[in-house]
């Protein structure tokens, strides 16, 4: 089973729909990222980074569903800030 499949399995077991979106407000603009987009983007990283993502996701399960929500909020914020910084050449 691939790392992505393991992550999707964890979400399914926790009752979380990977199509769910997380909203972020940046400079009074709303941005939405789906859990699936966040997962797909991190799966483009190195295998070591993918394994770290999987391990951290597993640990967030121990903190209950709120832990998973916070995990994806944090991962989404990293992606969004990374995308915005590229757009503005910070």
pLDDT value, residue 84: 66
Which tens digit of pLDDT belongs to each residue from 51-68?
999 999 999 988 876 788
Q: How many CB atoms lie within 10 A of CB 8?
A: 17
Read off the DSSP letter of residue 45: S
74: left (phi over 0), alpha (psi -120 to 50) or beta: alpha
Please state at what angle helix 3-14 crosses helix 65-88, rounded to 10 degrees.
130
Among 85, 77, 79, smallest CA distance to 24 is for 77
Which tens digit of pLDDT belongs to each residue from 1-31?
999 999 999 999 989 999 999 999 878 889 8
Written as six digits, the tokens of 11 are 């979400």
């Amino acid at each position: 089973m691939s790392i992505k499949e393991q992550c999707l399995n964890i979400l399914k077991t926790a009752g979380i729909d990977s199509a769910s979106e997380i909203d972020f407000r940046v400079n009074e603009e709303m941005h939405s990222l789906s859990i699936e987009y966040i997962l797909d983007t991190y799966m483009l990283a190195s295998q070591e980074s993918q394994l770290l993502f999987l391990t951290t996701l597993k640990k967030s399960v121990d903190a209950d569903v709120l832990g998973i929500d916070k995990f994806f909020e944090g991962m989404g914020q990293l992606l969004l800030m990374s995308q915005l910084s590229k757009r503005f050449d910070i």
